[in-house]
A and B are shown apart, each in its own frame.
Chain A
Amino acid sequence: MAPPTSAQIGLSSTSQSVRLSAVKQGWVTVSGSRSGAVATSWNLDPEQTAAVTLVAQFAGMEGAIPALQVPGRPTPPPGEAGIPGTALVLFSQRIAATNALEIHLRLPAPPGLPPGTYTGTLNLVAITQ
């Protein structure tokens, strides 16, 4: 007696697996205006980010106003951003927020600056930790 014709129908192999992974990267943006308003927004993975830190630092002004200071803590920013002594950590937090920023410049002590217009660039950098 021959085996039934369906003897090998439904025969299956063992299962093999393909592991799939997709990563959605977070982002951080900073935008400012001449009025001093700074908007910082982010979309981050809380499991991979502890904090968002906004750092302000002056660039290219060391020669013109070498003793420029800003109130608060002239703390070197975390990471590699900023120049020690010319930067300020504006905030550090984990939640999305829009932070208004009012910048106060304190001019150096005597002899003071001659009357005139002084220009410079204040860089704002947000960093995740």
Chain B
Amino acid sequence: MTTSARLRRSFVFLFPWAALALGTGAAAAQSGTASPARVVTLSALRVGQLTVSLPAGASRSIPAVSDNAVNTFTGTTTIVTQWNLNPGQTNTVNLIAYFSNPTIAMSGGAVQIPSSRILGRVTTGLPIAFTAFTQNGIGAVGTAGGSLRLFAVNITGTNKNSSRTDNLDLQLNLVGFPTLPPGTYSGTLNIRAITQ
């Protein structure tokens, strides 16, 4: 070790702050050095909107049932379906009507009327003629053998934010069904929309 190197080493040992100050000159020589790029992924998902409302016909009745005949429920059920969806993420909007228990669509006393005896029609939809509620559900909506798809509409850029109004007509088919004892028979029909 030379004399000057020995002196510099002693100086740094005695005055480390001075060494730091002296080191600034070396850091400047590394300016412009960049770390590896790190990518931060940004994602925002706008949830689609899908609603169903019944402005009319939420209660339907047959005041005087006839045995061994097709009985029509009075009035009609108006269904308004609204959606705001991304056509790149949605193929279709489907409207499903279904009974929770296909074997007991309606009941009164000990008598059970299955969903196959309930007929539905939507002249602006898929079952343009009266059709039994014997279809399967779609996805998590509906029940196997107790459902009826009322409409399916493709979602495109032109109708991604839209709505439609349909009327559901209902019948009770008692042709060939055992004679009903006098009484009141009631049930609940569920209506729900789902995307595919």
A residues contacting B by CB (< 8 A) are 1, 3-27, 43-45, 47-48
Per DSSP, chain B at the interface is strand
Q: How far is the CA of A120 from the CA of B63 in the complex (A)?
A: 39
Q: How far is the CA of A19 from the CA of B189 in the complex (A)?
A: 6
A17 x B188 contact (CB < 8 A): yes
Q: Which residue of A lies closest to B172 (CB)?
A: A22
Report if B154 contacts A (CB, 8 A).
no
Q: Does B41 contact A (CB under 8 A)?
A: yes
B181 touches A45 (CB 8 A): yes
B-to-A contact residues, CB < 8 Å: 41, 43, 45, 47-48, 50-54, 57-65, 67, 71, 73, 77, 79, 81, 85-86, 88-91, 97, 105-106, 108, 118, 139-141, 168, 170, 172, 180-196
For the complex, what is the distance from the CA of A62 to the CA of B182, rounded to whole Å? 39
Interface of A is mostly: loop
Given A24-B185, A26-B182, A5 and B89 contact (CB-CB distance below 8 Å): yes
**In contact, B189 and A9 (Cβ under 8 angstroms):** no
Q: A16-B52, A17-B58, A22-B184 are in contact. Are A7 and B192 (CB under 8 A)?
A: no
